[in-house]
């Protein structure tokens, strides 16, 4: 007999038995009566997952998974970041949904509504087995054993520790369209340790002004006791820490339809509950909009809260090294603010840090360990880092770590931002590192300081020979930041450099880059 789960995986005996059985089923292993798999030859062939690329569009990913068993199609629908925000990696989340053990289809934060919708459509065609409801509730089914060992003292997504805000410092100088803050948190007393490359999971609180407005619209006292998904809470606390006020659910529209006094509002709300494609057409972007647009619908606070999706944690690439900042963690947080439908919207977590968390107050956090995004074990190896915008975060951590550890390997950073004057994040620190010889090369691309756009990949092409030489010396190549456009463009530039400098055709260059990734020398942390 063999157990598939490691001994220290955080599950109760019934969960362990069920999980061993579940994974055995997936792998084609025989099961014994207690759910422990007996050794047998796996029958499911090892599958390549070419859609597991966060820079690839959803439609393209779904095409690649077409015709495969539903688990793989579900996986292709995920954000492909393996970020752990949902409590799983992409593949186990897909497996849990396919088996019916996981009912919440909205957990993939990076994939957002498009992912949730694709999953719903796939399940309409291939529903989970009817027996699925009998599986035990799983806290955190897989993928985070490393989290357990690193985030010591049992700190995890579901058992976060409280970190204290030391300072939120603007990283911009003067005018900017892209405000970014360095958030310094104290980890003293939490037992949390991390490695450069890891991310910090943060459980933010919703905007307190919005919470008070919703309470007053629903004519409810904040102290009112309610039951939210079986647990007791008061209304203000539940609105602040437990529910997602950004994305209205079909359940909310249906509830509002039931409570609307005006017939036409009720009909419209019922339509929105059926078809989420109409939601944006009605100028609805968040939960508050629903209350403002449909004034005759005022459900009681308890059902209202239970109709909302749960608040999810946000991840931030760690921007500090413990060697340089003992007992601290720093983040590089871009403040999300935008106008739509004649209204201003604020991102929850970035504005929580920027506006609502006072110095000295605490926030629940945990470590999300990186999957293959770490400094080379051999510190004499050169590293090339491409991190425009907030993508610089992990590279500040890398540089601090290498400097503090006395690493001999060369470091080359490509940084991009809109304007040199306002958006050169960590400028003083980077220039000092250059002067001290710790940062061997710093190449900047300020996109809007001249008539034509200049991006990091343009600088890479200008320095093609240098990049090729460093790669031949064994350099590791890292990319962090925008997944949708930048990561794909940088990938194309890297292949172009390999092709030109290495005198290879496109296919050989692509194979070379694929091999770099397989060897752990091409690593991406994109979002």
Ligand X SMILES: NC(=O)c1ccc[n+]([C@@H]2O[C@H](COP(=O)([O-])OP(=O)(O)OC[C@H]3O[C@@H](n4cnc5c(N)ncnc54)[C@H](OP(=O)(O)O)[C@@H]3O)[C@@H](O)[C@H]2O)c1
Residue ranges binding ligand X (CB under 6 A): 178, 334, 336, 347, 388-391, 416-418, 447-448, 453, 455-457, 481-482, 485-486, 489, 527
Residue 527 binds ligand FAD, judged by CB under 6 A: yes
| Helix H or strand E encompassing 478 | strand 476-481
CB 382 within 8 A of CB 442: no
Closest separation in Å from C-beta 81 to ligand FAD: 5
314 interface partner picked from ligand FAD, ligand X, none, CB below 5 to 8 A per type = ligand FAD
DSSP β-bridge partners for residue 481: 526
Residue nearest to ligand FAD (CB): 347
Comparing CB distances to ligand FAD, the nearer of 81 and 486 is: 81
299 interface partner picked from ligand X, ligand FAD, none, CB below 5 to 8 A per type = none
Residue 349 binds ligand FAD, judged by CB under 6 A: yes
Distances from the Cα of 93 to the Cα of 126, 184, 185, angstroms: 16, 32, 30
Q: 10 Å Cβ neighbour count for 309? A: 19
Task: Please identify which residue in 105, 348, 475, 490 interacts with ligand FAD, judged by CB under 6 A.
Answer: 348
Comparing CB distances to ligand X, the nearer of 177 and 431 is: 177
Comparing CB distances to ligand FAD, the nearer of 102 and 247 is: 247
- The two tokens of residue 274 are 């059926």
Residue 171 binds ligand FAD, judged by CB under 6 A: no
| Helix H or strand E encompassing 62 | helix 58-65
- The two tokens of residue 419 are 């304007």
Alpha carbon 358 to chain centroid, angstroms: 25
Q: Are strands 180-186 and 161-170 parallel, antiparallel or unpaired?
A: antiparallel
Comparing CB distances to ligand X, the nearer of 109 and 243 is: 109
DSSP state of 354: I
Task: Please identify which residue in 350, 444, 447, 499 interacts with ligand FAD, judged by CB under 6 A.
Answer: 350
Task: Please identify which residue in 140, 242, 246, 330 interacts with ligand FAD, judged by CB under 6 A.
Answer: 246
338 interface partner picked from ligand X, ligand FAD, none, CB below 5 to 8 A per type = ligand FAD
Contacts of 137 (CB under 8 A, 6+ apart): none
Contacts of 144 (CB under 8 A, 6+ apart): 84, 87, 156, 157, 369
- Per-residue interface string for the shown chain with ligand FAD, residues 378-417, x marking contact by CB under 6 A: ------------x--x------------------------
Residue 332 binds ligand FAD, judged by CB under 6 A: yes
- Number of residues near ligand FAD (by CB under 6 A): 24
Cα separation of 142 and 87, whole Å?
8
Q: Nearest 5°: phi and psi at 151?
A: -80, 80
- The two tokens of residue 158 are 């579901």
Comparing CB distances to ligand FAD, the nearer of 336 and 511 is: 336
Cα separation of 133 and 137, whole Å?
9
CB 356 within 8 A of CB 205: yes
Closest separation in Å from C-beta 305 to ligand X: 24
357 interface partner picked from ligand X, ligand FAD, none, CB below 5 to 8 A per type = none
Per CB under 6 A, the segment of 67-75, 314-322, 459-467, 486-494 that binds ligand FAD is: 314-322
246 interface partner picked from ligand X, ligand FAD, none, CB below 5 to 8 A per type = ligand FAD
Comparing CB distances to ligand FAD, the nearer of 182 and 438 is: 182
388 interface partner picked from ligand FAD, ligand X, none, CB below 5 to 8 A per type = ligand X
CB 136 within 8 A of CB 14: yes
332 interface partner picked from ligand X, ligand FAD, none, CB below 5 to 8 A per type = ligand FAD
CB 525 within 8 A of CB 394: yes
Task: Please identify which residue in 97, 163, 257, 315 interacts with ligand FAD, judged by CB under 6 A.
Answer: 315
417 interface partner picked from ligand X, ligand FAD, none, CB below 5 to 8 A per type = ligand X
Residue nearest to ligand X (CB): 389
Residue 340 binds ligand FAD, judged by CB under 6 A: yes
- Per-residue interface string for the shown chain with ligand FAD, residues 73-102, x marking contact by CB under 6 A: --------x-x-x-----------------
Cα separation of 78 and 54, whole Å?
9
Closest separation in Å from C-beta 490 to ligand X: 7
Closest separation in Å from C-beta 166 to ligand X: 22
Residue 206 binds ligand FAD, judged by CB under 6 A: no
Task: Please identify which residue in 236, 242, 314, 524 interacts with ligand FAD, judged by CB under 6 A.
Answer: 314
Binding to ligand FAD (CB under 6 A): which residues in 5-64?
A: none
| DSSP of 402-447 | HHHHT--S-EEEEEEES-HHHH-TTHHHHHHHHHTTSSSEEEEEET
Q: Which residues of 164-191 are buried (b: 16+ CB within 10 A; e: fewer)?
A: bbbebeebbeeebebbbbbbbbbbeebe
Contacts of 502 (CB under 8 A, 6+ apart): 468, 508, 509, 512
DSSP state of 212: H
Among 42, 13, 44, which residue's Cα sits nearest to residue 30? 42
Comparing CB distances to ligand X, the nearer of 92 and 334 is: 334
Longest dimension (CA), the chain: 72
Binding site for ligand FAD (CB under 6 A): 81, 83, 85, 110, 112, 199, 246, 314-317, 332-334, 336, 338, 340, 347-350, 390, 393, 527
């Amino acid at each position: 007999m063999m157990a598939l789960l490691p001994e220290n995986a955080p599950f109760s005996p019934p969960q362990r038995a069920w999980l061993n059985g579940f994974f055995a089923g997936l792998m084609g292993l025989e099961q014994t009566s207690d759910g422990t798999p007996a050794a047998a030859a796996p029958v499911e062939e090892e599958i390549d997952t070419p859609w597991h690329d966060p820079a690839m569009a959803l439609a393209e990913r779904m095409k690649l998974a077409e015709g495969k068993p539903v688990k793989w199609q579900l996986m292709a629908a995920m954000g492909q970041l393996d970020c752990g925000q949902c409590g799983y990696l992409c593949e186990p989340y897909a497996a849990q949904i396919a088996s019916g053990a996981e009912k919440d289809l909205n957990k993939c934060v990076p994939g957002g509504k498009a992912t949730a919708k694709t999953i719903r459509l796939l399940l309409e065609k291939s529903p989970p087995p009817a027996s699925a409801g009998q599986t035990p509730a799983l806290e955190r089914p897989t993928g985070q054993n490393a989290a357990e060992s690193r985030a010591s003292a049992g700190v995890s997504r579901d058992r976060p520790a409280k970190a204290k805000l030391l300072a939120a410092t603007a990283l911009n100088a003067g005018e900017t369209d892209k405000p970014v803050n360095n958030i310094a948190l104290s980890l003293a007393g939490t037992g949390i340790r991390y490695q450069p490359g890891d991310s910090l999971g943060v459980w933010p609180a919703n905007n307190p002004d919005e919470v008070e407005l919703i309470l007053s619209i629903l004519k409810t006292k904040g102290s009112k006791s309610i039951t939210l998904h079986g647990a007791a809470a008061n209304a203000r606390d539940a609105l602040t820490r437990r529910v997602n006020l950004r994305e209205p659910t079909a359940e909310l529209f249906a509830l509002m339809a039931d409570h609307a006094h005006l017939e036409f509002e009720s009909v419209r709300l019922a339509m929105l509950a059926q078809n989420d494609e109409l939601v944006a057409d009605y100028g609805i972007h968040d939960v508050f909009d629903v209350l403002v647009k449909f004034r005759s619908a005022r459900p009681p606070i308890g059902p209202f809260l239970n109709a909302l999706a749960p608040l999810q944690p946000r991840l931030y690439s760690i921007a500090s090294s413990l060697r340089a900042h003992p007992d601290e963690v720093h983040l590089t947080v871009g403040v999300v603010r935008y106008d739509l439908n004649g209204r201003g919207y604020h991102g929850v977590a970035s504005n929580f840090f920027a506006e609502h968390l006072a110095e000295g107050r605490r926030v629940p956090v945990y470590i999300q360990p990186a999957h293959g995004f770490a400094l080379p074990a051999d510190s004499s190896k050169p590293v090339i880092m491409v991190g425009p915008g907030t993508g610089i975060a992990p590279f500040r951590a890398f540089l601090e770590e290498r400097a503090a550890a006395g690493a001999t390997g060369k470091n080359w950073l490509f940084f991009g931002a809109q304007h040199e004057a306002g958006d050169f994040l960590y400028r003083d620190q980077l220039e000092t590192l250059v002067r001290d010889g710790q940062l061997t090369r710093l190449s900047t691309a300020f996109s809007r300081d001249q008539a034509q756009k200049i991006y990091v990949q343009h600088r890479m092409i200008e320095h093609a020979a240098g990049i090729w030489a460093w790669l031949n010396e064994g350099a590791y190549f890292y990319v962090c930041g925008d997944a949708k456009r930048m990561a794909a463009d940088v990938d194309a530039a890297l292949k172009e450099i390999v092709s030109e400098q290495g005198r290879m055709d496109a296919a050989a260059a692509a194979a070379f880059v694929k091999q770099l990734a397989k060897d752990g020398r091409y690593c991406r942390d994109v979002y």
